Amino acid sequence: MNDTLTYDFYKKLEKDQLAFVYSGQFSEDIIKTAVNFGEKKVEGSGGSTRIKQKITSLIAESFKNIILHADKPNILHNTNNKPSMFMARRRGESYSMTSANLVDSRKTDALKSKLDKLSSPSPAGDLASVLSAKKSGLGLLEMVKRAGEKVRFDLEFVNYYFSLFYLQVQLDAGRKKGRTDFSISSDQELYRMMLKHNLMILYKGNFTQPMILSLVEMVENNLKKKPEALWKKKKIFYLLIELLQNISKHAMIVDKSREGIFMVGVKDNKYLIYTGNFVEKAKGDHLKSQIDYFNSLDKKGLADLYKASLQSERKEEKMSGAELGLIDVARYSNDKLQCEFKPVDRFSSFFSLHISA
Amino acid sequence: MIKISKTEDTPQVIFDKQNNVFEIRGRSLPEDAAKFYAPLLEWIKNYVREPNPETTLYIDLEYFNSSSIKQLVLLLLLLEDILKTENKVKAIWSYPKNDELIEAKGEEIKSILAIPFEMRPI
């Protein structure tokens, strides 16, 4: 495992109060989950109803756009895996939503001209005529109409058959418009990073219970389609909850937020879960010695430790809930707990944890 | 009597002394499990002073977090007081037949309790 992976992603997204990237299954049932997630996301920032509606409909349209218009290569097209991806980011009161998906290269010229008409300052007439087009891309245009703000796109050449189409919509909820700018190249870099490390979901920001439930639901949705045994799915769900709640309960508060980062990747049928958050130095030292201890035990040793901890309830609250959960995380992971503590300043470190399930 | 409806992250709870129904069903994933279970523990603490002749606590959880397990254990330990009396008490741990995780958790809890604890695969 690349020890600094979680920290690298965190640093890249440091300026975003919130960042969410999804590259899992795009299907009708995920739309509802994503919209639900969007609602909670806006709630957190104290957004108005109007903004919430704009954002949630943008999210829905982005997903629909991907579901309807992403072209799928077959084996003859010799296209290395380029999955569809959705990104949502927030800085202050500026939001950016980007969708990335493959498009058949035969469509790119038509797509480009349609979008050029939209992004250039054009009188209402042009927009109306474009909007009246009934064919593919109508959902897309709905999206743009509703955004009413900055739209950017890029077509990245993949091969003779396909291009990777990025569409970014930026929405400024605050009074001072146009203050923050999300560059599309930053999104493209994020796409490459996600792909390189086989990541399916990424979330960076404030960890609250509603947010956690949304994230877990998303993973669950993806798991549903897979043929894995119920036991394995339950295990993944259990580990996710433990790791995420550890952040929401114990992460150091940064700027009034239980700040952290969470990533899930899938490789060779294994689920790789990464979490990162800040901890006070002393707490970090204690945590490190605990993890080292857990890693020194075998599965049976961990099972015995777990039972002993449960039983210690008889006497007093010796072991904190977090520790009990961490023992179980150690038990049910495929390998040892992998962690890293990166000193950030005199008082705190960035704690990364990585498990495989 | 306690009657709590289930939510996205907390279970349905029915503690009904009159009708002799005691059950916890659904999902238990609250961020602050101690807070959710505190009133339940309080109620049981009172109940065991004057329990029904036969008490059966039925537990059927689809998902739970580790802090919920901890609270459940505390709750089940409180029921041990009934063993000192002539009254009967037992717990039933219900789970889907092929759910090895819930089964394993049940076995773990069973191994540290003194009250009868029945594993019930469905």
Question: Which residue in this structure is represented by tokens 């191994």?
Answer: B111
Instruction: State the alpha helices, DSSP H only, in chain A.
Output: 5-12, 28-44, 49-69, 108-119, 124-131, 138-147, 184-196, 209-224, 230-250, 281-296, 299-311, 321-332
Closest CA to A147 of A168, A129, A131, A162: A168
Q: Is the ipTM of this complex over 0.85?
A: yes
pLDDT of residue A353: 96
Side-chain half-sphere of A183: how many Cα atoms within 13 Å? 7
Phi-psi region of A256 (alpha: psi -120 to 50; beta: other; left: phi over 0): left
Residue numbers of chain A with a pLDDT score lower than 50: 1, 122-136, 138, 315-318
Percent of chain B at pLDDT above 90? 98
Q: Position A162: which residue type?
A: F
A32 touching B, CB under 8 A? no
Q: What is the mean pLDDT of chain A?
A: 83
What is the tens place of the pLDDT at every residue in B46-98? 999 999 999 999 999 999 999 999 999 999 999 999 999 999 999 999 999 98
Would you say B78 and B55 are in contact if contact means Cβ atoms under 8 Å apart?
no
What is the tens place of the pLDDT at every residue in B10-57? 999 999 999 999 999 999 999 999 999 999 999 999 999 999 999 999
Q: Which of B32, B36, B66 should we substitute to test contact with A (largest number of A Cβ atoms within 10 Å)?
A: B66
Pairing of strands A348-356, A338-343: antiparallel
Q: How far is B13 from chain A (nearest CA, A)?
A: 21
Q: Do A234 and B102 touch (CB under 8 A)?
A: yes
Pairing of strands B54-64, B88-95: parallel
Task: Name the pTM for this structure.
Answer: 0.89
For residue B35, the surrounding DSSP H or E stretch is helix B33-47
Q: Do A213 and B63 touch (CB under 8 A)?
A: no
Select the residue of B33, B66, B74 nearest A242 (Cβ to Cβ).
Answer: B66
In chain B, which residue's Cα lies nearest the Cα of A321? B67
pLDDT of residue A125: 41
Q: Do B31 and A245 touch (CB under 8 A)?
A: yes
Q: How far apart, in whole angstroms, are the C-alpha atoms of residue B8 and residue A270? A: 27
Q: How far is B6 from chain A (nearest CA, A)?
A: 15
Phi-psi region of A148 (alpha: psi -120 to 50; beta: other; left: phi over 0): left
Q: Do A310 and B99 touch (CB under 8 A)?
A: no
Would you say A272 and A352 are in contact if contact means Cβ atoms under 8 Å apart?
no
Closest CA to A48 of A171, A161, A149, A173: A173
Q: Do A310 and B70 touch (CB under 8 A)?
A: yes
| Residues of B within an 8 Å Cβ radius of A | 8-9, 29-31, 33-34, 63, 65-67, 69-70, 73-74, 77, 96, 98-102, 108-109, 111-112
Partners of B109 on chain A (C-beta within 8 Å) are 310
Cβ neighbours, 10 Å, residue A109? 10
Select the residue of A209, A249, A324 nearest B70 (Cβ to Cβ).
Answer: A324
pLDDT of residue A72: 82
Q: How far is B81 from chain A (nearest CA, A)?
A: 13
Length, in residues, of chain A: 357
